[in-house]
Amino acid sequence: MPSVELNKTIPDFEATATGDQMVRLADLRGRNVVIYFYPKDDTPGCTTESQDFRNSMPAFTEHDTEIFGVSRDGLKSHDNFRSKFELPFHLISDQDEKLCALFNVIKLKKLYGKEYMGIDRSTFLIDAKGVLRQEWRGIKVPGHVDEVLAAVKAL
């Protein structure tokens, strides 16, 4: 499967999300979409990033933008994470790594001297026509959501 490219239309995809939702990119045409990939539910950086998106949700909504978080965690973990932190957007479970492959976010990582394949924290902004307008890879959490919101406002 080819991966996404800036200023190109994202191939339609279908993914299972919290709340028994089936997310289809084609169904979101006419709205901007922010998809952020994060390594794991309920870990410090991922929690902070998700809370930052939650706290900025009114501004994203004002600019007709949907937000989805994606990790390889299962739906039960996502439901618990979403409920615990009162996240107003859905979380997509990508256990088969199809979305991770499409967006090319699986990278070799190191933790305590061990190497493993994991999600590289990344965010993608798709415009109302389904075109990838901006991507952030290997991001640091502080200030990131503000950058994404600024990009949304600039569309």
Q: Could you list the beta-strand ranges (E) of the chain.
A: 14-17, 21-24, 32-37, 65-71, 90-93, 106-111, 114-119, 122-126, 132-137
* 100 annotated active-site: no
Q: Which two tokens stand for residue 146?
A: 């503000």
64: left (phi over 0), alpha (psi -120 to 50) or beta: left
Exactly one of 10, 46, 75, 126 is catalytic; name it: 46
Cα 89 to Cα 60, 109, 122, distances in angstroms: 11, 28, 17
Q: Is 19 left (phi over 0), alpha (psi -120 to 50) or beta?
A: left
- Enzyme catalytic residues: 46
